[in-house]
Structure formats: structure tokens, C-alpha cells
Structure 1
Amino acid sequence: MKASVASLYQAVELHQEIPPLLLGERCNPNGSKAFREALLAEDWDACLKLALDQEARGAQVLDLCVAYAGRDEVADMVQLTTLFAGSCKAPLMFDSTSPDTLEQVLPLYPGRAIINSINLEDGGANLDRICRLAKKYGAAVVALTINLEGMALTCEKKVAVAKQIYDLAVNKHGLRPQDLLFDLLTFTVGSGDESMRSAAIETLAAIRRVKEELPGVGFTLGVSNISFGLRPAARKVLNSVFLHEAVEAGLNTAIVDAAKVLPYAAISEEDRKICLDLLYNRDPEALMIFIDHFEQAVDNDDADDSDSLRMEELLHQKLLKGDKDGLEDLLSGLRGRWQPLDIINNLLVPAMREVGDLFGRGELLLPFVLQSAEVMKQSVALLEPYMEKLADEGRTSILLATVAGDVHDIGKNLVDIILTNNGYKVHNIGIKVPAEEIIAKARELQVDVIGLSGLLVKSALLMKENLAQFQGVALQQPILLGGAALTRKFVAQDCVPNYQQPVVYCADAFAGLKAMRDFEAGKLVATDWSDNAVVSNRPGPPTDVLDRSFIPPAVPFTGRRTVTDVDPEILFKYLNEAALFRGRWGYRRGKMAKEEYEKLNEQTVLPLFHRLKEQALNEGWLQPKVAYGYFDCSSAGNDLLIHSGEGDKLFSFPRQEHAPGLCIADYFRTREEGGDVAGFFVVTIGAALAEKTRELYETDSYHDYLMLHGLGVELTDALAEYWHEQMRVEMGIQQGASDMAAYVAQGYQGSRFGFGYPSCPDLGAHLPLFELLRPEEIGVSLTESFEMVPEMTTSAIVAHHPQAKYFAV
């Protein structure tokens, strides 16, 4: 059984798949001035805020210590345990060596806590009492390698004390090895004390030894101890490098301020080398080299150094890093020097534009751009109360809309986020917006530019029609067009001629930002197409390419069925993680070194994925359901006639105008050839996850909005992949697979073609599909333009033909 700790709201495994588990250290009066002041003032709400802030910054367990001279430790611990238990999702670690205190708080805590700590300083008397309490209340225990002789300094002594504690805790008191977290202690390498030069080496060696000799136990460290005495900015780098080395050695939890740990990939090779030389005592001058190297380093979180860096530059750096911590205090200080509107126009907007430039050069990934946008948004919100009005005069404005019949808004909303936080006035008027409303709003709001978005092929065609309507009423605004189905060629050849003002193709949100800047500079021009390549056409069905001798498979039934008990967890086995991480989330390698990209995945992407997966499963965001069926059919040219008990249904499919002239109907036999069988499905993950993404967007949580929306879209496709496999298994043309890797490895016969996508772009096909499958029974409906609701729903026709493959018309 895996060792876990738990709060009232969630369980957390001590031995994380991707270590370390981060134990927040700031709720301690001996290490945090803010917590000490709140505790002494008995400002319990301020104490709670510090705990919640740590959660928000990545702490997975909260270390709670209230022992301070002149205070009643029992009363304070009881007070804060009760408060934290009801408000904090992260489990608690009770940082007390007092059995009396622990005896009072453990029964109050509605979860499974960690006790910090036990040792042999008194020969074991306290250890015995605390281990009995841990056994009674099911707590995990931190064990420090301290005995009657004091703190163990060498690897040999650390290992010897660990074995003594293990014998008492496990063999005498019955604790499980996996519930023991050994703190093998580390001491500063920054003091200049010759006896401490090898402190890091001894600790890392001890972790490896204890891990080998006491299987199953865990480890923790007060990581920041390694750097006591050094400058704060330098400490952050050294702590982060030491943490990386400790995890490599076997450390699985760490007592840290999560906000003050740098991703290893973000530390330069030079900084790493200088830190490693000091940690491993590779040079007699390593400490002086380290101090000289970091002499000018400045940490935004360091109050001692902040005066040496102008507040303007601090704000600039916070925005570039997506760091909201301390933002209110910083802006308060800046208001003493600048008018609020000048802070926005002269400090925030230029910084946000730099973010866009970094993204354009491939030096910043989209998730980090959104974190910067959150800082921008929060800054403006904090400044607004001090302005009579956030002046719109002089700000370039744009109207954004998803075209009629299209319910997809992720692309449009990303454009909104990027443009708003680059200082533009954005009027986002929503989804499914008809041309008449766009015209009326553009005139009412007197916008400078109009931006149209749409995901599907039909949306692209509708944009072309909209432009003709705009021309007919003599609109004068340039038009920016974006969406997955658009191409530069389509915009240039089919859209630009329909409108007298510039029509510009925008491949992504940052292309939209560039277009807005070009507009302001008077350089915006219509998209053109200079590729004059000739495409050879080959009309008619490719009868010479497709095998017509195939035999239709036996199907388990004809007609329709619904499935409402799909296990949500199975979707993750069919999830295309590469498409999610690189495509939907934007964590692409770009200009990163391979090692840096691997670290990004290990330290940022995978933990984020596992967090969202856990939330989606635990909080009921996924309700996968399926409506599907098999029907006798026959093809005739571009048409497929479906024979059902409720009357025949006709599906007409487009044919490629170029070679090889494919059409979906070609994959099915004609009536003369004996007829065939076709499968159809509609799958949905429900509305709950989409509702959660809407909440995130409306609360300006841009990063999590993009991440969760992307996950939902890919899980919808995973459900489609899973159900496509189930149908192939039922037809006897596919063996079942245990996961995505096995599924891909064996390959499969046939293909699925989604309605509204390039092989069959006409969403009107949803009308006969709904008549066949009746997906209303699983909560799916159609809009007036034949799009399915909830958004995270997809449909397909399943072809079993051995040569069936995905293609575009």
C-alpha cells in the first residue's frame, strides 16, 4: 500500500512519481517574519493567508510550527489546526517535538498528518511517546539524525543514527518503513567553516546509503540550510541546484518555499557549474568564486536587495516571469512615483510587448505568456480604483467574435487575452454571432478593427460570406481572420476579393498582435498568395486505387445503443500526450537544448498534467457517454444510403478535386456489390469540464484556462479513439489494447471521419446522424447551425475498409 497523507479534501502520496513532494515552510515563526508577526498579533486570518499563498505557489503539504518564546504552543497549534483543516486542501505537517502538543492536535485533524519530528537527542523518551501517537492516529513521521552526541555530521554517523531510529520506530512501535521520512540533516557550505566544506557531500552520500540499507523509507531535507549566510539571490540558485542533486540521490520530499525554487532548466550552465563546484568541494576557492559570481545577482523576492533595483525594473521582471507575489505592495510604491495610467502605458504595456516578442522568437512558451498576462490583468485591476476611469481614448480597439453557428471560443479568447494585455481595447461579443450583429456592434462601438474566429470548415466559408455582407453595407474596418480551418491561400484567394479594406490571415494570437501593431503603424495590408503551383486534377472515383473485393465484417447488432458507464480514467490511456503537451498546451522544444526541454517536462509539464488529471477524476469534471450503432448501407457515387428501421438516411460526401480524388463513400460497397455496413458514433465528456474552463477564463486564470481546455479537447478525442477501437473489436477487425502504446503499436484497419472536419466538412450531416443515433439521450443537442453541444463532443462515421484513411477534400 502506498504511503499517503491527507487533508479533509485530498490525499497526497509521499513518494511522488516525479519527486520531490514540496513541504511549505513559511508557516513557522522562526523562519518567516510575516508569520511571526501574524502569530504574535493573533491575526489568524493572516496566518491562514500565508498557508493558502503557499498552496497557490505549489506547496503540496504545509509545515505548521507555532513554537515561539512567550507563546502557548498547545493553544496556538489547536487554534491554527482547526482553522487550517477547514480551509487548506494541502495536508498538514505538525512541526513540534512536544508530545503534549501533538496529543492535543492529532485527534482534531480530519486527515492523515505528518509529525515533524522525532530524534534520539534525549535517548529516545520523546521518540517513544510520539511514535505511539503516530501509530494511534496513523501519522507519518519525520526522523532527524540526532542522538545524545548531537547532530550527525558525517555520512557514517547519519546512517548509524538512522538505523537506530528505524529499529525503534518500525520494529518496536510498528510504524511502516514507508511512513518514515529521514531528515539526514545538511549544513551550510557558505560559512567558510573548513569543517563544513563537505556538508553537502556527506548528506547526499547518506541519502544513497540509507536508501540502500533501509528499503522503503523516505527522505526530506530543510533544503535552504545548505546556503545559510549567503546573499538571498545567490541562495535561491544554490538551493535549487542542491535540491536537484538531492532528488537525484533519492530525496522524495523537501521543506522549501515553493516560490523560491528555480526550475533546474532555468539555471544557466555557468551558474550550475559554480554551484556544483561549491557543493562538491571541487576547488579550494569554490566559496569565494561563488560569492564573486553572484555578488551582483538580485532576487525580486529578496526584501534586502529590492532597494538596489528600481521598482520599475522589478515590475518589468515580475511581468516577464509571470510572478504575482508581492504585486500589490510594488504597485502601491510605484503609485508614489507615477500616475496609475502611466504605470499601465509606460511600464506594463512595454513589458507585455516584450513578452510577445520573446514568444515570437521562440524564447518563451505560450503557458508562460499566459502567466504574464495574468500579472498584467491583476496589475490593471489593482490600479483601476485609483483612476477616475481607465481611459479608452487613444486606445486602438477591436471587436472579436466567433462566427454564426460556431460554439468554439478558445482561439478567440486567447486573442482577447493577448490583445487586452498589450493595451488594446477588446470588445469580445461571444460565439455564434451572425453577420448582422457584427455589423451593428462594429458601428455602435466604433471599433478600429474586426476580428473573426472559427474552428470548422463551415466557419471558414461563412467568413467569406460575411465579408460580402460587410462590403454591401460599406463597413470600413480592416478584418482579421483566424481559425483552424483557414489557410493563407483561402483567405487571399477567396476572402480578400470580397472586401475593399485589408483582410488579413492570422495563424495565431500573436499574428493578431502583429496585425494590430501594423494597423497602428499604417502598414496593415491584405494577405496575398504568391504560390502559383499547378495542381493536377483527377475527377471521378478512384476505382483503380481502392480494392473492391473486401467483405463487410459481421456486426454484433444493427441499430443504435447508448453507453453511459464509461470509466473516465480509461480516457487517459488513449490520450495523445504529445498532442496535448506540444500542441494544445504549447510546451514545444523550440530553441531549448534537449536536456533543458526534458527538465521542463519533468518539473513543469508532467506535474501539471498529473494535477489536472487528479482534479478531473476526483472532482467529477468528466462524464463520458456514447451513442453509437451499426447500419446496413450502400454507396452510389458520392452518396451513402443508410438503411434503418425508421427509414433510409442519405449522407452525401464531397470528393477531392485533385488526385487521387477520394470520397468517403468510396470506402463502402454499392448495392450491386452486395451492400455494406457502416458504423456511427457520437461521444461526449459532458459539460462540467467546459463549465470549469469558463469559470477560469472569467476569473482571469488564463494559464489554467488554456491548460484545462486543451486537456478537455484531447480527452474528447481520446474517448473517440477508445470507442473507435471498441467498435473495431466488436466488428472483429481489431484486437483490444491495454493502453495507447499497445493500441498504436498493433496498427488498425479502417478509419473514422469526423463530421465538420476536412473529409466531410458539412455539419448538415448531423441531422440524419441524430435521427439514427438520438444522442439527445446522452445529453447532446444540436444548434441551429448543426454544431453539437456540449462543446467537448465529437462524432464520426466509421469505415472498415482496409484502405480507409484520413484525407482532406
Structure 2
Amino acid sequence: MQQSPLINELQQTLDKRIMFLDGAMGTVIQNYKLSEADFRGERFLDHPMDLKGNNDLLVLTRPDIIKEIHKNYLLAGSDIIESNTFSANIISQKDYGLEHLVEELNIAAVKLAKEACNEVMQEYPERKCYVAGSIGPTNVTLSISPDVNNPAYRSHSFAQLKAVYYQQAKALINAGADLLLPETSFDTLNMKACLAAIGQVEAETNTKYPLIISVTITDLSGRTLSGQTIEAFWYSIAHSKPLAVGINCALGAKDMAPYIAALAKVSDYFISCYPNAGLPNPLAPTGYDETPEMTAEYIYDIAKHNSLNLIGGCCGTTPEHIAAIVAKTKDITPHTPSLATSATFLSGLEPLLIDNSQNPQFYMVGERSNVAGSPKFARLIREGNFSEALEIAKQQVENGANVIDINFDDGMLDAVECMTKFLNLVASEPEISRVPIMIDSSKFEVIEAGLQCIQGKGIVNSISLKGGEEEFLRQARVIQNYGAAVVVMAFDEQGQAASKEDKVAIAKRAYKLLTEEIDFNPADIIFDVNILTVATGIEEHNSYGINFIEAVREIKQCCPRALTSGGVSNLSFSFRGNNIVREAMHAVFLYHAIKAGFDMAIVNAGMLSIYDEIDKPLRDACERVILNLDDKATEDLLDLAEQYKGQTNTIEQVDAWRGWELEERISHALIKGIETHIVEDTALALEKYGTPLNVIEQPLMDGMKIVGQLFGEGKMFLPQVVKSARVMKRAVAYLEPFMEAIAAEQQTSQAKPVVIMATVKGDVHDIGKNIVALVLRCNGYDVVDLGVMVSCQKIIDAAREHNAAFIGMSGLITPSLDEMIYNVQQFEEQGFTIPVLIGGATTSKLHTAVKIMQHYSSPVVHVNDASLVAEVCSKLLNPLSYDSYVAEVRAQYAKLRDDHYTMQRKVELPSYAEALAKKFTSDWTTLEIAQPQQLGVHKLKLELAEIAEYIDWSPLFWAWGFKGMFPKIMDNKDYGRECLKIYNDAKKMLGEIIRKQLFTPQAVVGWWQAQSHNDDVYLYNPDGSPLETLCFLRQQNDKAINYSLADYIAPRDSGRMDCLGAFVVTMEHVEKLAQHYEAQDDDYHAI
């Protein structure tokens, strides 16, 4: 497709300076005090319906007025004027009985605007003026039902609205509009229909036209009327690759400012802004309360941060407003769009950014809204009970699913009708629709029906090469036009890929086709390379688990920016009915797959085991099966599964932990997310520990620290952490009345210091923040908890309103870190001196020191433990300790920064070719090559007494913290005597080990014929046939020689055969003896 030359022309201008749009059309028309007769003119004298208010009709009946308004805006400084076509579409004109005039209205409107531009350019030859074809949102909405009693109902379909937009867009282009401006978008699904229509016009004309997209933020909630945040909106429409994106209408510039800033942060295109002239005011001449000077000042406050490229006005603005805006902002440097992100971005009502190249995280796709995967969901859909089926989807989100998979593939269902109805209902449930949707079907017509119902950026599951390349690319283009991401299955014309090699080959082929043939965004490609069932008893199935894991590892390397996904429940299908074993298999599989780069799994988000909590025999057995470690793995797991089948529903097994110590019970409940007995156990803890604060800071926080550790190690997933947090909240809720009573007793007339606490914008988690708030309240602070998804402006307003002593910001997900940086920048700009406390799972002292602290001149302290927050606040409040504590924190953070930058400092490395040229060389023509007595692998018989003579005792002393080498360490004047005692005790123990043969030494050694080539060593069987290739690293530095281990093996081109040796040693039963001593509380001998 060719690109309109105007795109490049406008881009060049926008790079250099801010360009100006016009202001309101309707506001200025009102000032003409037109009558019904003006709207009718001669042509519509006998029209049966009232026409007053149909401003678009004036291009036919009062073209003089419309042209005059256009010229006035151009003379005020507008570079781009909008055609008077905001409502020139079939739907809007039907209200006046003029739907047959749509094409004529659009052509006449563009013609008038072009005439005005030409006249001004003739008068001022140095100027260049443009006409933007205005496309309004219509008065229908695809995401919201017009019938409150029937939330699934829509007055228009996506296809119908697309046809409406197509007619208008085509007329505007044919009439000569320089660019298109779909504006005042209150429903993103409407906008997607409009963009699809424009895409159709572009395809028919083989031309990409300049496009400015403008959305309306309905109120100070920061969302569109249909519920999306500004970031979610952008992610939903970014596929259209506009010239610019921006915000107009509903708000004045002052209130619009934070949303413009948020949009500029995420969009990699130019930014536009044309606000209302403040709030409606019927007593003001324009109907709005801002004078031209006021509007110009507020817009200047946005533009001075270099965050705008296009500025204009909406309701209430006039040519005088535009003139004032131009005078105030024309010399400001324009916004430089941020670089395009390499991350995957999705959206529901809220954004989901997946940036696993920088901060790998694992994402869950809830699988239960699937008629094939959930018998209950299937039954409810067949019964027509969609409202209860919605509860299943809602539960998946509550349990931590990041995306919801929806599937209606069933021979007895009308899948298109079910998908449409269910997704329309989902749109009415913000608890569900806040996350992205995965539309799952094997029928492409169902997929397309689903895409026409979601306003966010979803995922299609799935397409494949099964039907050949032509059909694969056709389907991919359709998905691309809707702006969705796509799951690509590892299928081709030969069938399903099972081996690692086939999985990788299909992924590479599909990736190449998508990225090179149709320019599909690689970050929107998600490979599902088939998680297949293991432990079936069929030998070729044994490697299915490890094949998937290794395929993922390779795909992440050879398909940059693409993600990987898969349905985990397939893995354990052999054990259906045995949930304990199935959940254990899933947890073990995910633990290893995530380490290989697995990004996203379709799972039941509420039914995941914790890796470390699985019985060790079961975990080991699952590991052997999934990693295919030995031939007996399947047989052993089947045997073991029988034991668990018998235990599944026994009360004794489920409640055995109730007999544990109190602290162990509390930890277990937190880790497992069991709410049943937590209030009872918290009450007992209160009796034991005396105060609510002690209970929180000791047994409860001890349990949550374990949760945090397991989460950090990848052994727990976010849904499980969310369940843990619920248990914690219940415990804390029980303690709250006791804490409030204590606080009331301690209350004095002195005002309490106020702490503003918030989970930053983009993050819906409050794990830990509530606990910190309670700890602070117990210590005499007044806490204002703003909740989750809190904008920077809301924090600033609250801090001012409450005269805050501290601001506490929390975040659990990686994007929160960037939001914290932005927030402290704004605090600094506002002149705040309030100390800022940083906390949450993704935060760290290092990140605070390196990334956050430098943007704020007042104290910023990372507090990683709720029990420490009161102490930190106390030191910052006390004038006697403030200076010294701040200096101490800054010195500590400065050292962290310096150490970090030292580690990060890049060293200029020579190229690999240069390093290879400096390899270590030998004279292989004369060098004697020693030969082993015998090639092959040999097991050695070893005696403990014999190998004891070779023990290096130095590490023993190091383990006890003593520095030095054996035997000189025993002469040390400070601790030599203690070392001698340790040595004698160790020798005594060693004697007992040898005498009783408590340990069993094992060793194998192998020798193979070998030759090298560059950094690789080739091994050969005794008969000379190839055995294996070992790949070694080579030093890359500025030294004279850059070594590789391969340099010490005779090169292949020397004509000589060398040998390579390897060995493995182990000492069995050491752990058993250590556990014996530990059981006797004898840590000394255990070490």
C-alpha cells in the first residue's frame, strides 16, 4: 500500500513545531442565532421534520456562514480546520429524515473548507492549510446496551456501524479531505469499527491516509464512557498507526492535563489536545466558563512539558480562543514521540503490558469460560443461564487470571450467537472486562464475531498453517485489521508438531511469514507449540513435556519479541479425576517451563499448587516424568498416583495441619490461601503475643515473608499470592477493632501526622499496603488510603488536602516502577518536600536508589518490611534525627548507585573474530600427546580411608567464618585454637565415618578421542565415528592471548587425534547423617 505524500509532509512539520487545529463549530454557529428557516433554506422548505440543530445541513443551506467560520479560524492561526461533518452519517441524519444526503453533505463540507483554505493561502502564500474530515462517534454505542433490562442487546452490530463509517469516510476522501479525524470517541468499539471502515477505503484506493484519532475522557475518573483508561484505549487502537492520537471534549485543559501526560508516555505517535473552554456555564457568552486567555494559560501548562504536537479547541472555544492559544504556545518545542516499545500490550478496560525482555513475569489465562474445559460452564450455556456463567469468568479474574479465554466450540451450540451474547454481557461486567479477552475457537467465523464485540485489544486463539500459507495469511490479515494479538499453533500441512525440532521449525516458518509478508507486529505473535499429554504408557509420549520446554527455550531465541503460551491441563490428562497429581504436575511443569521462557499459560487460575509445598516424593516423580529423566518415570508416577487417589477426600488428610503449632498453622494458612480457621488462630495468637501489633509483626508477617520468597523464586504465582493476601486481610480485619481501641486510649489532643498511601496507577493490587497502613495507625499515624489504580494527580490533591507528613507508594507489578518514577517527578515539579516511602513486591532498595531517588530532592526511602515503617517515619518526623537519618539513607543509596553503575559500565570488547585471531596456539607437529590406558567410561572403586588423605580442610574453616588456609590457619593468634578444636572434632567424626562406612564414595571417569576446531571439540567413538560436539566459550579481552578450553585439544587440521577426559564424583548418605544430627538439635555436628 502506498503512503499519501501528506503523511510525510505533516510529520516533518510536526517534528519542527506545534500545529494548530480549529475550535468549536457548534459554539460559533450558536452565536449567529439561526432560525429554523436558516436550516431549511429554499431546498427544504417543505421537509416534514424540524431541521433546526442539524448543523451539518448548513453546508447546503447557509454555506456562507460555515465558510466564514472556517476562514476566521484560519486567520486566528489554525493550520488544520475540520469539515463541518461531525454528524454527517446515516445514523445521525436519520433523526432528521435526511439519511439520503450523507454523501452530498460530506462532499459539500469538504469543498467549503478547501475553498476557505485556498483563499487564505492565496492571501498569505507562506502558509499551508489543511482540511481534516471530521467523523463523529454517532449516537449509538457498541459496548453498552441501550436497554438496561437486557445488557446483551445492541441496537447496531459492528458490521452495520462499520458500513455507516465507510460511507462517510469514502465520501470525505473522494471530496479531497487532506486527512481524517475520527473524534470524540466515547466507546472504543465504535472507534474500532470506524478504523476498520477507513482501512477498507485505504485498501480499495491502495493508499494510507493521514489519520488523527481523538478520544473523550468522560470525567475525572480518567476513563471513557465505556470504561477504558487512556492507556487501554491507546493499546486498543494503536494498530491503525495514526499520524497523531489525542483527547478532546468533556474536560477543560486543566483537568485534561494528567491524561495527556499518560497518553504521551505510552504512545509512540504525535499527541493532540483540543479541550473544552472549561466547564459548561449557561450565563457565559459561549456557554462555557473560560475566557480565551484562561484556556490558553491552561494549555500552555500542558505544552510547556513538550508533550503536545497539535493543539485546538472543542466546545466553548472560538477563533479568539485559538488566537490566544497560538500566541501563547507557538514557540514551545513540540513533543518528541517515545520510541516504539518492543513489549506486547493488550487491554480490556485496563491495560496489560507484557515486557518479558526486561522484567520476565508469568501470565495466567483463565480457562474455565470454555465449554470444552469446564463441564459446569458448558451446562450453564446449554441451559441458557448466561448470568451464572459470567460468575465463572468473574471468579477466574478474582483468582488472578490476567486474561480470560472464552470458547463455545460445541456441535450443539450456535457458537457465533453464544460468543456474541456472552461478550456483550462481559462488556457490562467491569470486574471481568477489565482484563483482556482471548477469543478461542477453531471456526474463524466465531473468532471474527468475537473480535467485533470487544473494545479492548484481545488475543485470537488460534490460527495455524494446517490449511496452508495462503489461508494462514488471510486469517492473520483479518486479525491484524482488528488490532488483536494471535496465538499460532504448532500445526502445519503435515499435522501437529510433537518433537522439539518440528515445533521450532513451524514457529520459525510462521514467524517469517507473518513478519515479512504482512508486517505483523512480532510482539503480537504468541506461539502455542502444543503441551501434549505425558505418562500415557506410550513410549514416544514420554518426551512431550521436555520437548515443549526446550522448544520454548529455542523459540524465545529465534523469534524475537514473540511470546509463548499453551494449555497446561492437557499435560496431565492421563490422571483426570486425580486432582492432587494433576495440580502437582502442572506446578512442576510451570516451574521448569517458566525458567525456559514460557510467558503465558491457559490454566484454572484458582487451582495451582505451590511448587515447594508438593510432597517431595510426588514432586520428584512429576519431575522425572515431565523432564523424561528415566524409563521408569511413568510407571513410578502411576503407582504413586494410586496412593493420592485414596487420599483426595479424607478429612484426616485435609485437616492434619490443624494439629501443628500455632505459628505453623498461621503460616500454612497464608501460604495455602486457606481462610477457614484464620480468625480462630489469630484470636489465639492475640492471647499469646499480647498486642495486635505483635501478632501482625510476628506470626502473620513471618508467613507473608515466606509467601514473598516463594513468589520471588517462581514457586508461587500471582493468583496464589492474591489468595494469601485475602487470608491476611481476614486476620487483620479481626485485629482492627483491638487496634482501634488501643489507639483511642492513647489519643491526645495533638494532631496526628498524616500518611497518604496509594497503589500507583496501573496496578490493582494492595497486597501489603493495608498491613503497612494498620501498623502506622497502631503507632499513632492518621492514614489516608487512596486504594488501587491511583493517579498521580489524586495523590497530589490528597497530600495537599490533608497536609500530609508522608506519601507512601506501593506496587506489585513491574509497570508500577515507571509510574513511581513519574510520580516523584511530578512531586518535585509541584515543589513538594514531603518524604516519600516506596514499597511493594517489585520494588527494591536498588531500584529506589538508581531510578527514583534522583528525581526528588526530598527524602525517598524504600521500606521493604511493614514492621520497619513506623521506625522510618519516626526518624523522619523527629527534628533531632531527621538530618542524620536522611544523610545516612542518601549515603547508603549513593553507594548502591555507584556499585550498580560500576557493574554496568560497559567494557569495549574485541569482536569474536579478533579474539579468535588471538587464540592460544601450540606446535602440534612436535607436541607429545599423552594417551589414556583405556578409552570409554569406567566406574572407579574407591575406599573412604584412601580418599580421606586428599581432603582439603580449608573450606571447613571458611564455613565457620574463619579466613586462611590449612594448616597455617591453626597458627592464627586470634582463632587458631578454635580452628584446631574444629579440626580435631572433624577428624574424630571422619574416623567414625570410615570405621562404620557411613558414606559411599562414587566416581566415574571417561576418556574419548577428540579434535578441536576454533571453540568446538569433536568427540569420537573408539571406532572413529562422531559421538558429540562440545561448545566452549572464548575470552574476549584486550590481552595478548584470548583463551578457550578448545585450544588445548589438537586441531582437526593438524591431522592428529587427541583425547579428552571427564569425571563425575559424589558422596552418598552425607545428607542423611546431617539430618540425624539436626534431629537431635546438634547443629554443630550437622555442619
TM range (shorter): 0.3 to 0.5
| TM-score calculated relative to the size of structure 2 | 0.37
| TM-score calculated relative to the size of structure 1 | 0.48
**Higher-RCO chain (CA-CA 8 Å, sequence separation at least 6):** 1
Q: Which has the larger radius of gyration?
A: 2
